[in-house]
Every structure is written in structure tokens, then in C-alpha cells.
Amino acid sequence: MRWLLAPLAALASSNALADALWIADTHSHSAMRFNDSSCLRCELTQSGVSLLSWALVADGPFIQRMPNGGIQVNFKANPEQFRDAFNRMLKGMQRRIQMENLQLALHADDIDRALQGELRIVLSTEGAQYLGGDPQHLEVVYAQGVRQIGLGHFVEGDLLDIRTEAPKLGGLSELGREVIRRCNAMGILVDLAHSTDQAVAQALEVSQQPMLWSHSAITRQATDWRSRSNHVMSISLANAKVLAQRGGVVGIWPSRFNFDDPRAYVAALGDAVAMIGEDHVAFGTDMQGLAPASTMMTNYSGMREVVNLMLASNMPEKMVRKLSGENYARLLKTVMQARSVS
């Protein structure tokens, strides 16, 4: 399904309504350079972002971006090194949070406030090597404010197989299963992005709570680590359908790997709705996580433009609200309310 964009006059008339729609993002690295003097709060509030998953890259110190935009693993760290790096990066995030007086989304009522336009930050991680093979370490990161965990990234771990390396665990390990069960009980949202199709299918069987695929596209044909196409990072349609049937959400990635411009991205959002339903699609920008040549936007004014384009198309307002913020908010609130351990 693709929506046909209206004339520019209609686009202009949609701006007032667009300004009243709050934006949520399932995955962002915005302002992650901690010596950056920019104001994160200013950017988010000016663009109408009220709920942001701010993702610490757990294996970031051990990978390098290549000139072609690819990722190279430079160093296979041990668990202590991963944990030290995690704590160091988290302290940097906490300093900015304190400096800008940002409020964390810690409980379900924080999500309600975000839906009313009060900015809330969801502390997230991309990769979980810092657990060091110990699911009980989730108690520590929960106390540190983390409420969303991506189980994999670019450095191989012990929880599941990742999309950019040859599988070694047969999908999801027993440790990975235990981590998912613990996250379910604690009210931590599990993000499956970067996981292999086999790992995703197994994780969906294990989880008692809905799950997130935070950023990329949906492909009708499954891909794997040997794929040379731009869709190597994408979730398969088969898995996306199951994830949606179980209440989950897929964040669609506005990257130049998949789309030429914001209008193509809006059309892709419509395609995703046609594939898995309007209650299960969201924005997953990966803001400032892509190489400059691969990104469609470098700040959230670009997502405000996307909302304008959605409203100027034939996409119903109710659907725009769901995709731009309500679906991700609902998912977070559902998982947080399931917390059953102290």
C-alpha cells in the first residue's frame, strides 16, 4: 500500500496539525558524542519529540566504521572490558541527562506523560555483552535506569547469533532465553534488531511479552550474513508478522540503504502497515548512528518533515498518530506494567 502525496498547498495546511502530534523514536544515538556542546533537549522539544529511546552502543569502543559505511570489529573484548566500557559510556549519558535536566521513562506513568507531550528518555542499549554471562546483572542495569535492551549488535555475543556474522549458536542460546525471561519479569523491553531470523523466531517463542525490532526494514525474502543487498539488516516478513501478532512493533529505518528521500520513507511506512498492520509500525531512526552518506537526516527536524508528509498524503490522522508515537508508547507501557519482581 502506498499513499499518494497531495499538492504542496495541502502539505502547508497540514503543518498546524503536525505540530500537535508528538513523535516517538524506538532507536536513537543523537548527541552521543559527550563532548558535543549541542542541546539535546532543545532539538527534541523544537521538533516535537516526546519519547526517545536513547541507545548506548555496548560494543561501540570495539568496532570501527569503515569509509564505505560498513562496520569492522577491531577487538574481541572480555566481559570485564565490556562492562567497564558500558559503565563509562553510561556515566557520560547520565552527565548529559543531569546537565539538561532530562527526565527518564522509568515506569508506565512516564509513558502517559510522554503521550501528553512531556519529554521522556528511555535509556537503552544496543548489544548486551556487558551482562558478562550473568542474567542477574540485569538488576544492576535496571537500577541504573535501563528499560530497553538490544540483545545483539556487531560484536558477537553469547545470547544470540547476529546478522553480520556466520551463526554459531543455532539462533538463541540458553543464556539468551534466560535473559529474555528475566527482562519479561523485570519490565525491560527486549529489542531483537541485528538478530538472525532463526534467533528472532526462537525469541518470539520464549518471550511472554511483546517485543521490538527497533530499526531497519521488512523484507519479503529472508536475508542473512552472506547477503550482499542493502536488506541484510532487515527483519523477514514472516518474523515481522509473528512479532506483530504478539503485540510487538517494528521501527522503520529512514536510511539511504532503503529509501531515496523522505517521501519514499513515507511510502515505505505505508507498505509496512499493509504487511503487518497499523498498530505495529513505528519510527526507528537510528539517528546519528549511520555514516553521513547513508543517512536521510541528521536531526529531528527531518522527522517533523516526515509527519508533515504523512498528513499531506491520504494516510488517516489516526494512523499517523499511531506510527509517529502511540505504537511504541503502547509497547513500552505494556512491558513496564508486566513487571513482577522487585
Dump pLDDT digits (tens) for 83-116. Answer: 999 999 999 999 999 999 999 999 999 999 999 9
Residue 189 maps to a domain: yes
- Using 50, 70 and 90 to split pLDDT, how confident is the model at 15? low
Q: What's the rounded Cα separation, in Å, for the pair 146 and 46?
A: 25
Report the pLDDT value the prediction gives residue 9, as an integer from 0 to 100. Answer: 45
User: Is the confidence at residue 6, as pLDDT, over 50?
Assistant: no
User: Is the confidence at residue 266, as pLDDT, over 90?
Assistant: yes
- pTM exceeds cut of 0.75: yes
Residue 1 maps to a domain: no
pLDDT tens across 108-149, in order?
999 999 999 999 999 999 999 999 999 999 999 999 999 999
Report the pLDDT value the prediction gives residue 40, as an integer from 0 to 100. Answer: 94
pLDDT tens across 32-64, in order?
865 667 899 999 999 999 999 999 999 888 988
Residue 245 maps to a domain: yes
Q: How many helices (H) and strands (E) does the chain have?
A: 13, 12
- Using 50, 70 and 90 to split pLDDT, how confident is the model at 16? low
Give me the domain span that covers residue 325. Answer: 8-337
Report the pLDDT value the prediction gives residue 12, as an integer from 0 to 100. Answer: 47
- Overall average pLDDT of the 248-262 stretch: 90
Report the pLDDT value the prediction gives residue 221, as an integer from 0 to 100. Answer: 72
Q: Kindly give, in sequence order, each residue whose CB lies less than 8 Å from that of residue 222, ignoring residues fewer than 6 positions away.
A: 197, 236, 238
Residue 153 maps to a domain: yes
Report the pLDDT value the prediction gives residue 68, as an integer from 0 to 100. Answer: 63
Considering only CA atoms, which of 209, 205, 216 is closest in space to residue 333? 209
- Using 50, 70 and 90 to split pLDDT, how confident is the model at 5? very low
- Overall average pLDDT of the 177-202 stretch: 97
Write down the mean pLDDT value for the chain.
90
User: Is the confidence at residue 13, as pLDDT, over 70?
Assistant: no
Report the pLDDT value the prediction gives residue 187, as an integer from 0 to 100. Answer: 98
Q: What's the rounded Cα separation, in Å, for the pair 324 and 20?
A: 11
Report the pLDDT value the prediction gives residue 214, as an integer from 0 to 100. Answer: 98
Residue 2 maps to a domain: no
Question: How many distinct structural domains can be found in the chain?
Answer: 1
User: Is the confidence at residue 342, as pLDDT, over 50?
Assistant: no
pLDDT tens across 203-252, in order?
999 999 999 999 999 997 776 666 655 667 899 999 999 999 999 999 99
Residue 342 maps to a domain: no
Residue 24 maps to a domain: yes
How many CB atoms are located within 10 Å of the residue 145 CB? Answer: 16
Considering only CA atoms, which of 222, 227, 192 is closest in space to residue 206? 192
Which SS3 state, helix, strand or coil, does residue 71 take? strand
Report the pLDDT value the prediction gives residue 323, as an integer from 0 to 100. Answer: 98
Q: What's the rounded Cα separation, in Å, for the pair 218 and 185?
A: 29
pLDDT tens across 272-331, in order?
999 999 999 999 999 998 877 788 888 999 999 999 999 999 899 999 999 999 999 999
Which SS3 state, helix, strand or coil, does residue 221 take? coil
Considering only CA atoms, which of 118, 107, 104, 184 is closest in space to residue 151? 184
CATH of residue 312: 3.20.20.140
Residue 240 maps to a domain: yes
Report the pLDDT value the prediction gives residue 315, as an integer from 0 to 100. Answer: 93
